[in-house]
Amino acid sequence: MKLIGSLASPYVRKSRIAFAEKKIELELVLEDVWSPTTKMAEMNPLGKVPALVMDDGGVMFDSRVIVEYADALSPVGHLIPTNGKDKAAVKTWEALCDGILDAAILIRLEKTWVGREQHRSPAWIDRQMSKINAGLKSISEGLGSNPWCYNNQFCLADIAVGCVLSYLLFRFPEINWRDEYPNLSTFHDKISQRPSFVDTPHPN
């Protein structure tokens, strides 16, 4: 199996970490979706990473599908509960984290898209930033003083939260969530030591 992706994408990282936690080998094939010559749309009509190319040539996306598939491939280290309500709760953590990332990426695009310099919208940026802030508050409250996000057991929710926090440090160092939410700071320091996180860093 090959994962098509980039080192900067937090969704790619979440997928890679899920495979690493499941102890399933995965080859990363780098693709720059922002390059004019990208062939990403041949694998995913949405032109986005990550996409998982299976040995039979079939392709699946997006990261939420990929991590669920990874979890189903092996009984090692369950990441998603099988019980309906618990599964929905863990997937809600993931949806919250992905939503924060979506907002963060929209801000980056709004600030950096070449050719739109005259059309940048501070109101749009503020709207997205308020989602990031509300999302961080919700994560911090949900985690509280627990060791892990859901049911005191490491699961996909923890991977998703770890990926959000690392991505914010990588792309938005000016957001001072470490001081505002000490429990998230402690959580990030702890989860960052897992080999699955250590082995999948964002680029410098």
Ligand X SMILES: N[C@@H](CCC(=O)N[C@@H](CS)C(=O)NCC(=O)O)C(=O)O
Do the beta carbons of residue 3 and residue 16 sit within 8 Å? Answer: yes
| E strand or H helix that includes residue 51 | strand 51-53
Q: Which of residues 37-56 bind ligand X (CB under 6 A)?
A: 47-50
CA distance 67 to 183: 26
Q: Which is nearer to ligand X, 181 or 196 (CB)?
A: 196
Q: Which of residues 87-146 bind ligand X (CB under 6 A)?
A: 98, 105
Spatial strand order of the sheet with 59-60 comes to 27-30, 2-5, 51-53, 59-60
Q: Which is nearer to ligand X, 63 or 128 (CB)?
A: 63
Q: Which is nearer to ligand X, 120 or 141 (CB)?
A: 120
- Which of 62, 172, 183, 185 is in the footprint of ligand X by CB under 6 A? 62
Look at phi and psi of residue 147 and say left if phi exceeds 0, alpha if psi is from -120 to 50, else beta: alpha
Do the beta carbons of residue 120 and residue 110 sit within 8 Å? Answer: yes
Under rule CB under 6 A, residue 166 binds ligand X: no
- Which of 4, 21, 63, 128 is in the footprint of ligand X by CB under 6 A? 63
The secondary structure of 29-40 as a DSSP string is EE--TTSTT--H
Residue nearest to ligand X (CB): 62
Q: Which is nearer to ligand X, 110 or 183 (CB)?
A: 110
Q: Which of residues 19-38 bind ligand X (CB under 6 A)?
A: 33
Task: Provide the binding-site residues for ligand X, judged by CB under 6 A.
Answer: 9, 11, 33, 47-50, 62-64, 98, 105
